[in-house]
């Protein structure tokens, strides 16, 4: 009996002596100001770090992660102390209407998809619902009203986009879409009559069409609509939603030419490591058009400046375009 009591006292004493070390470790890994994030389908460490305004390395260190590429759905991640879970929520409120998405709402209020998602705790930016009340960070006053019409009209012609028409009249895409009840700015049709908002006046002459290579093939990327369209001369032959650069890492605008193509290539940089990126075509420095296996949130800015396509669309474009094909990027 005495031996059992002695062993018990030794165990208790060992636990007491060890408790400060355990407590210190707990304080290092989790504090009163820490946040816990539960990993959702489709997330990666870069997106989570972007949401909370911290670095991938900071989250990896706080959670003892040796491989930043491997996290799993349901995993509980400690967000380092002092990292805000969302930007201040002071601002206006927008009630989601039928046909809206987070990108259009952000464009309407002059903010970003990421800021809206963070302010409203939205994990999947492609999923919002009619009637949902969204806090608009930093916005005060009532939502923008429908712009008045100027009395001018414009008949849509083959090859027109809403962003090109808005640029011609010196107004915003949103103002034309609102005035004409267009729910998807990338869907207009030849012969459609558009009312032009007040204050809009046509430029002296239409913007010239981009020069096409010898075979007549060229690629148009509309950053406002998040859409890529492949043209043969003036005829659109294929179109798809894309994801272009985030506000901090924008996609360059202008006229470029594809200078090299890879069926698969490694892409890496601060906070990301992406092996075997499929069907990559570089058009300017390290900026390329390529397939995407790490997200499916097309129609919303998501990238470091490259143009993300669904992999089947990227494969088609890869074999359709050639080195030297024009890439025209604009808002």
Supply the pLDDT for residue 220. Answer: 94
Best CA proximity match to 174, nearest among 100, 114, 115, 91: 100
Q: What is the CATH number of domain 91-137?
A: 3.10.350.10
Q: How far apart are CA 231 and CA 43, in angstroms?
A: 34
Q: How far apart are CA 253 and CA 233, in angstroms?
A: 21
Task: Please indicate whether residue 17 or residue 232 has the higher confidence score (pLDDT).
Answer: 232
Domain ranges of the chain: 33-85, 91-137, 149-197, 217-330
Supply the pLDDT for residue 136. Answer: 79
Q: What is the CATH number of domain 33-85?
A: 3.10.350.10
pLDDT average, residue stretch 311-326: 94
Q: What DSSP character marks residue 243?
A: B
98, burial (CB in 10 Å: exposed 0-12, middle 13-18, buried 19+): exposed
Please indicate, yes or no, whether the overall pTM of this predicted structure exceeds 0.85: no
Supply the pLDDT for residue 15. Answer: 47
Best CA proximity match to 99, nearest among 13, 2, 156, 178: 178
If DSSP codes are grouped into helix, strand and coil, which group holds residue 246?
Answer: coil
Supply the pLDDT for residue 20. Answer: 41
| Residue 282 pLDDT > 80 | yes
Superfamily of domain 149-197: LysM domain (3.10.350.10)
Q: How far apart are CA 29 and CA 27, in angstroms?
A: 6
pLDDT average, residue stretch 211-219: 71
pLDDT average, residue stretch 69-85: 74
Shared fold status for 33-85 and 91-137: yes
* Start-to-end C-alpha separation, the chain: 84
| Residue 38 pLDDT > 90 | no
* b/e 214-253 (16+ beta carbons within 10 angstroms → b): eeebbbbbbbbbbbbbbbeeeeeeebbbbbbbbeeeebee
Fold category of 217-330 in CATH: L,D-transpeptidase catalytic domain-like (2.40.440)
Supply the pLDDT for residue 81. Answer: 64
pLDDT average, residue stretch 106-120: 73
- The residues with which 262 forms a beta bridge, in sequence order, are 280
Q: What DSSP character marks residue 326?
A: E
Q: How far apart are CA 64 and CA 58, in angstroms?
A: 10
Residue 231 backbone phi and psi in degrees, to 5: -115, 145
């Amino acid at each position: 009996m005495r031996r059992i009591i002695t062993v018990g006292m030794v165990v208790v004493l060992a636990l007491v002596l060890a408790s400060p070390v355990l407590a210190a470790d707990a304080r290092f890994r989790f504090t009163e100001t820490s946040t816990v994030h539960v990993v959702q389908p489709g997330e990666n460490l870069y997106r989570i770090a972007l949401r909370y305004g911290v670095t991938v390395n900071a989250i990896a260190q706080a959670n003892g992660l040796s491989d930043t590429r491997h996290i799993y759905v349901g995993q509980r991640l400690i967000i380092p102390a002092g990292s805000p879970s969302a930007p201040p929520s002071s601002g206006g409120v927008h009630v989601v209407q039928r046909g809206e998405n987070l990108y259009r709402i952000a464009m309407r209020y002059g903010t970003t998809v990421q800021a809206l998602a963070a302010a409203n705790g939205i994990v999947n930016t492609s999923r919002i619902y009619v009637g949902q009340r969204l806090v608009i960070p930093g916005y005060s006053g009532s939502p923008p009203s429908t712009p008045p019409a100027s009395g001018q009209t414009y008949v849509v012609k083959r090859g027109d986009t809403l962003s090109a028409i808005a640029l011609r009249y010196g107004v915003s895409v949103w103002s034309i879409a609102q005035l004409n009840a267009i729910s998807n700015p990338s869907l207009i049709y030849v012969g459609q009559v558009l009312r032009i908002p007040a204050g809009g006046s046509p430029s002296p002459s239409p913007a010239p069409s981009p020069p096409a290579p010898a075979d007549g093939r060229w690629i148009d990327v509309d950053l406002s609509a998040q859409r890529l369209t492949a043209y043969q001369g003036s005829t659109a032959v294929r179109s798809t939603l894309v994801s272009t650069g985030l506000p901090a890492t924008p996609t360059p605008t202008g006229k470029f030419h594809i200078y090299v193509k890879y069926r698969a290539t490694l892409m890496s940089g601060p906070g990301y490591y992406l092996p075997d990126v499929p069907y990559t075509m570089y058009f300017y420095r390290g900026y390329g058009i390529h397939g995407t296996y790490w997200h499916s949130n097309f129609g919303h800015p998501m990238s470091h400046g490259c143009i993300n396509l669904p992999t089947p669309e990227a494969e088609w474009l890869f074999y359709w375009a050639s080195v030297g094909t024009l890439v025209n990027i604009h808002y």
